[in-house]
Amino acid sequence: MPLLEPKQLVQESQRAEHDDTIAAQVPYERMVNQPPPALLVPGDLLLGSLSDPRLRVVSPIRVRLFLEHDHVVAEAPNLNEFGYGSHISEAVRDIQRAIAQLYLSLEESSTRLGPDLVSTWSTLQCMIVRVRHA
Amino acid sequence: MAVDEPTPNNVVPVLVAALVCDAAVADPASGKKNLIGIFDRMWVGQFPTARPMFLYWKITDAEGRYRITIRIVHANRNKEIGRAEVEVQLHDRLLASDFLLELPPVPFEEAGRYEFQILMNDMYLGSAVVDAQPAPNQPREG
């Protein structure tokens, strides 16, 4: 299995909107010498984004990946949510959508939730915040 | 006395952009990046093949010490085909940071979806995607 060697990582810059360039100390690329794991499923993933501009992940969401009937299943055990796909990318995108939808629907009906959903809503609020644009 | 390593930060950054392109240069004076030939599909005359490329990504709302992992994944096979890691220290979460990584020829063993996943402190932020497809008649990209 080929191990990719990054040839060069160009130093990142941090720039303010008024183009005030700030120098950042960045070590150059470091190779990972051991071969990478071959298969990503089954495995775990920490979701740091829901790919939804309305929502921001503030605490990573643990997702378990496993195979079921030739499909990849992504499960967020803390939220009892699932995503499915023919491969890992589809399954991750599906669970991102599912969690975003769960957040938005619970937010909408947050004043009339049963005990189980109150608990789920509370868990979600620790992990995700609504992005408020001025 | 041993000096403790700085603790990795748990602030979850926001991925603003992730792109794959043919070539890229950073202006040494300003640090501005110039990307040439951005693509998300490639038509391949014959598999397996390999081609060099650049990965560009931009993040914001990050501060502190991070381990950035770039994981190249053949999605259809749920298989990791390569990875790179780098550690960075970011100083101001109100500012954006962008990165450019020159990759050696990336192996495309067969048609399918290939992802360049971006993880910071093991948190998956998103990815750039390249769909490799058999060339219909003549090579083209888009």
Which chain B residues have a beta carbon less than 8 Å from that of A8?
A: 101-102
Q: Which stretches in chain A have pLDDT values below 70?
A: 1-38, 133-134
Entry pTM: 0.83
Structure confidence at residue A22 (pLDDT): 28
Looking at the 3D structure of chain B, how many domains does it have? 1
The domain ranges of chain A are 39-130
Structure confidence at residue B50 (pLDDT): 92
CA separation for the pair B112, B6 (Å, rounded): 40
Q: Is residue B6 part of a domain?
A: no
The CATH number assigned to the domain holding B103 equals 2.60.40.10
3-state helix, strand, coil in chain B (%, to 5): 0, 65, 30
Range of the domain at B126: 14-134
Instruction: Say whether A89 sits in a helix, a strand or coil.
Output: helix
Q: What is the DSSP string of A90-129?
A: HHHHHHHHHHHHHHHHHHHTGGG--HHHHHHHHHHHHHEE
Residue A30, C-beta contacts closer than 8 angstroms, at least 6 positions apart: B85, B86, B87
Q: Hey, is the C-beta of A44 within 8 angstroms of any chain B C-beta?
A: no
Percentage of residues in chain B having pLDDT higher than 70: 91
Mutate to test the interface with A, among B88, B98, B124, B127 (most CBs of A within 10 A): B124
Instruction: Say whether B50 sits in a helix, a strand or coil.
Output: strand
Instruction: Say whether B76 sits in a helix, a strand or coil.
Output: helix
Q: Taking residues B69-86, what's their average pLDDT?
A: 90
Q: Is residue B8 part of a domain?
A: no
Q: Is residue B41 part of a domain?
A: yes
A contact residues 7-36, partner B, Cβ 8 Å cutoff: 7-16, 19, 21-22, 24-32, 36
A contact residues 113-132, partner B, Cβ 8 Å cutoff: none
Q: Is residue B21 part of a domain?
A: yes
